[in-house]
A and B are shown apart, each in its own frame.
Chain A
Amino acid sequence: MNLGGVVSMEKKAGRRLGEKQSTSKGQISIDNVSISFGSGLTKKLAITETTLNITPGEFVCILGPSGCGKSTLLNAVAGYVSPSSGKILVDGKPVKGPSPERGMVFQQYSLFPWKTVHDNIAFGPRIAGYSSTECKSIANTLLSMIGLSNSAKCLPGELSGGMQQRVGIARALANYPSVLLMDEPFGALDAQTRLMMQESLLNIWSEFGTTVLFITHDVDEAIFLADRVLVMSASPGSIISDFRVGLERPRNPEISTSEEFIELKKQCLSQIRSESLKAFEGSGGH
C-alpha cells in the first residue's frame, strides 16, 4: 500500500477538515456517454449522448422521474456499469470500475449487517491497509461528526433508518474520496428525518468539500442541497436543463420559502412535469 506516501490519515483528515479542499480533485467529466442494456431486439437505451462537466467541490443534484436512467448514470460514474459509447473521466482518469476515490451512498440497507457501526465506517481504511489505531481514529472522528459516537458498538439493525444512512455517508467519507455519489440516499426516510438529514449532509459537505453527485426525484431536496440542479428527461435519459442555484450558504430550511427558491422550483417542476407525463404515458401508465 501507499502507506509511505500518506503521512498519517489523521493529519490528512485535519487538513481536509479544516478548510475547503484547495486541491482541484473531484472533477467529473462525462463526454457524450450512451448506456444501453441487453442486445438485439431487447436492447434498451437507458442514457443517450449525455455530456456533463462537474467542477471540483461542486454539489450537483440530478433530478428526474423514476425510471429515467438517473441511477444508471450514477452507476456509470461509480464504475458498476460501463458506457456503450463515450467517456467518463474523474480527475482526468477514465473510470474502469468501482474505486474508493468515488464514495458511494446507496438508498437503503447497504451497511454490512454483521459489522458494528464502528467497523462499517472503518471498513474502507482497513481495506486500504491502515493500522487499526489509524482506522479507529478515522472512525471516531466521523462518528462524532455524524453524532453517533454512542452507537459505535451497535449493529446496523439496531439503528433507525436515518441513523443508518448517516453511517452510510460516514463510511463512504472514511476513504476521503474526491467524489461522493449518492443514489437517492434519503428516499426511504420519513419527511422529518429527511429534512434533518439534508441539513446534516450540507454541514458534513461544507467540512469535507468533496464533489457530490446526488440523485433525487424530490425537487425541494435538489434545490435545497445543490449548487446545480440537472433535470433529466425520461427514457432514454438525457439532461435537458441545467439550473444554477444561487442561494446563499449556509442554508437553513426556511430558505425554501424564499422567492428565489420558489421561482427555481416552478421552473424545475414544469420541466419535471412534462417529463413525468412522457414517462407515465410511455410506460402504459402503470
Chain B
Amino acid sequence: MRAAYLDKAESNVDGSDVAGSMGKQKALGVGSIADGPLDPMAHRNSVLYKLAHLFGQLPIRAIAVGAISVTIGLFLWHWATLYKFNYFVNFEHVPAPLLVGDAFSRHFFDPAFHTHVLVSLRRIFFAYSIAVVLGIVIGLIVGRSRTARSAILPYIEIIRPIPAVAWIPLAILMWPTEEASIIYITLLGALFPIILNTVHGVEQTPEVLVRAAQSLGANRAQVFWHVVLPAAMPSIAAGLAIGMGISWFSLLAGEIISGQFGIGYFTWHAYSMINYTDIVVGMLVIGALGSLSTYLVRLITRPMLRWNRKLR
C-alpha cells in the first residue's frame, strides 16, 4: 500500500517538475551543453517534490495501525472505568480517560503547570548535558586505555545497579542545594548507559582502520579524533538515546522526594492530595516528554550516522 502511494506521488511530481525546471534553465539561458547532460535528479531539489517525498516517506501504514491500537486501548480504559472493572486488577478508583483529558486541558493553560514542566526540562537539560560530556569522555578513555579501564571499571560496576531512589538521602546530604542533588541523581541515571555504549563502540573500532590512519601519519590524538570517535559513533548514539530515557526515570525519583517544582513533584503532590486524575496527567506528560526528548536525541545524532546507514 505504501509503495503504491509512493510511486504515485513520485511520478506525479516527476511529470510536472522536470518540465518546470527545464523551462527555467532555458529561460535563464543556462547552457546545459557546458554542464553536460541535464541532471536527471535536478527536480528533486524542488520544494514541491520534497514535500511530496516527505509525505510519501511517512510510514502511513505504521501510523494507522498505531492510531487504531491506541484508540482501542483508550476504549478499553474507558470501558474498564465505566463498568468499574474489578477482577484482580481494580479499576474502581482509576480516573476515566475523559476526566484525565479534561484535567489535562485545564492544566495546559495553567502557568503553574508550565513552571513544573519547564523546571523539569531545565533539570534534564543540565543533567543530561553533563552526562553526555562525562560519559563520552570516560567511555573513550576506558575503551582505549587498559590502566584506565582497570581503575574505573570497578566504580562503574558497583554504582551502576544502584537505583536512583536509593541515592536520594545521600544526595541530599552531599550536595549544597536541592537543585544540585536532583541534577546529580538525574545525571547518574544517564551517565552509565552512555559510558558503557561508548566503551562498546570504541572496542568495535576495526584495528585495520587504526593502522591505516597510523600509516598515513596520524598521531594518537588524530587516530582518536578521525578514527576511534567516528567508528564508535553508532554505539554512542544508541547510548545517548537510552541515557535520555533513563535520565527522565531518575529525575522523577529526585523530584518526588526533594523538589518543590517539577513534573515529578506535581505527580507526587497529586498523590498526597488524593487527586488521582492529576496523577495520570502527570504520568502521561512524563511519558510524552521522555519519548519526545529521546526522539530529539535521535534526530540530532542521525546526520553523524549517515555513512552507517548507507553501508547496509
Residues of A that sit less than 8 Å from B by CB: 78-80, 97-100, 102-104, 106, 109-114, 123-124, 127-128, 155, 157-158, 171-172, 174-175, 181
User: Is A114 a contact partner of B307 (Cβ separation < 8 A)?
Assistant: yes
**13 A-B contacts (beta carbon < 8 Å):** A79-B214, A103-B216, A104-B211, A104-B215, A106-B208, A112-B212, A112-B226, A114-B231, A114-B308, A127-B216, A127-B222, A172-B215, A172-B216
Q: Beyond the given A79-B215, A100-B217, A103-B216, could you list 5 further A-B residue pairs with CB under 8 A, ordered by the A residue number? A: A98-B214, A109-B206, A110-B211, A127-B217, A172-B215
Instruction: Let me know if B209 is at the binding interface, CB within 8 A.
Output: yes
Instruction: Let me know if B218 is at the binding interface, CB within 8 A.
Output: yes
List 4 tightest A-B contacts by C-beta distance, closest first.
A100-B217, A104-B215, A98-B214, A157-B311
Chain B 285-312 per-residue mask, 1 if CB under 8 angstroms from chain A, else 0: 0000000000000000000001110110
Alpha-carbon distance A11/B251, docked complex (angstroms): 61
The dominant DSSP class at the A interface is: loop
Instruction: Let me know if B213 is at the binding interface, CB within 8 A.
Output: yes
Q: Which residues of A contact B227 (CB under 8 A)?
A: 112
User: Is A104 a contact partner of B212 (Cβ separation < 8 A)?
Assistant: yes
Alpha-carbon distance A279/B211, docked complex (angstroms): 28
Chain B 194-223 per-residue mask, 1 if CB under 8 angstroms from chain A, else 0: 000000000000101101111111100010
Residues of B that sit less than 8 Å from A by CB: 206, 208-209, 211-218, 222, 226-227, 230-231, 233, 306-308, 310-311
Among residues of B, the one whose C-beta sits closest to the C-beta of A171 is: B216
Alpha-carbon distance A69/B285, docked complex (angstroms): 63
| A88 CB to nearest chain B CB (Å) | 15
User: Is B310 a contact partner of A158 (Cβ separation < 8 A)?
Assistant: yes
Q: Which residues of B contact A114 (CB under 8 A)?
A: 230-231, 233, 307-308
User: Is B310 a contact partner of A110 (Cβ separation < 8 A)?
Assistant: no
Alpha-carbon distance A114/B231, docked complex (angstroms): 8
User: Is A155 a contact partner of B222 (Cβ separation < 8 A)?
Assistant: no
Q: Which residues of A contact B230 (CB under 8 A)?
A: 112, 114
Q: Which residues of B contact A99 (CB under 8 A)?
A: 215, 217
Alpha-carbon distance A78/B206, docked complex (angstroms): 18
Among residues of A, the one whose C-beta sits closest to the C-beta of B229 is: A114
User: Is B216 a contact partner of A106 (Cβ separation < 8 A)?
Assistant: no
Alpha-carbon distance A151/B290, docked complex (angstroms): 42
Q: Looking at A79, A98, A100, which has the most chain B CB atoms within 10 Å of its CB?
A: A98
User: Is A102 a contact partner of B217 (Cβ separation < 8 A)?
Assistant: no
Alpha-carbon distance A271/B222, docked complex (angstroms): 44
Q: Which residues of A contact B212 (CB under 8 A)?
A: 104, 106, 110-112, 171
Q: Which residues of A contact B233 (CB under 8 A)?
A: 114
Partner of A110, one of B208, B231, B311: B208
User: Is A157 a contact partner of B213 (Cβ separation < 8 A)?
Assistant: no
Among residues of B, the one whose C-beta sits closest to the C-beta of A127 is: B217
Alpha-carbon distance A265/B311, docked complex (angstroms): 40
Among residues of B, the one whose C-beta sits closest to the C-beta of A98 is: B214
Alpha-carbon distance A172/B212, docked complex (angstroms): 9
| A153 CB to nearest chain B CB (Å) | 12
Q: Which residues of B contact A123 (CB under 8 A)?
A: 213, 216, 218, 226
Alpha-carbon distance A127/B310, docked complex (angstroms): 26
User: Is A98 a contact partner of B211 (Cβ separation < 8 A)?
Assistant: yes
Asked, given contacts A112-B230, A113-B307, whether A97 binds B214 with beta carbons under 8 Å apart, the answer is yes
Q: Which residues of B contact A113 (CB under 8 A)?
A: 307-308, 311
Alpha-carbon distance A158/B310, docked complex (angstroms): 7
| B226 CB to nearest chain A CB (Å) | 7
User: Is A98 a contact partner of B215 (Cβ separation < 8 A)?
Assistant: yes
Partner of A128, one of B206, B217, B231: B217
Partner of A100, one of B208, B215, B231, B306: B215
| A115 CB to nearest chain B CB (Å) | 8
Q: Which residues of B contact A80 (CB under 8 A)?
A: 211, 214
Among residues of B, the one whose C-beta sits closest to the C-beta of A124 is: B216
Q: Which residues of A contact B231 (CB under 8 A)?
A: 114
User: Is B307 a contact partner of A106 (Cβ separation < 8 A)?
Assistant: no
Alpha-carbon distance A6/B211, docked complex (angstroms): 26
Q: Which residues of A contact B213 (CB under 8 A)?
A: 112, 123
Q: Which residues of B contact A157 (CB under 8 A)?
A: 307, 310-311
| A156 CB to nearest chain B CB (Å) | 8
Among residues of B, the one whose C-beta sits closest to the C-beta of A157 is: B311
User: Is B310 a contact partner of A78 (Cβ separation < 8 A)?
Assistant: no
Q: Which residues of B contact A97 (CB under 8 A)?
A: 214
| B56 CB to nearest chain A CB (Å) | 23
Alpha-carbon distance A210/B233, docked complex (angstroms): 37
User: Is A78 a contact partner of B209 (Cβ separation < 8 A)?
Assistant: no
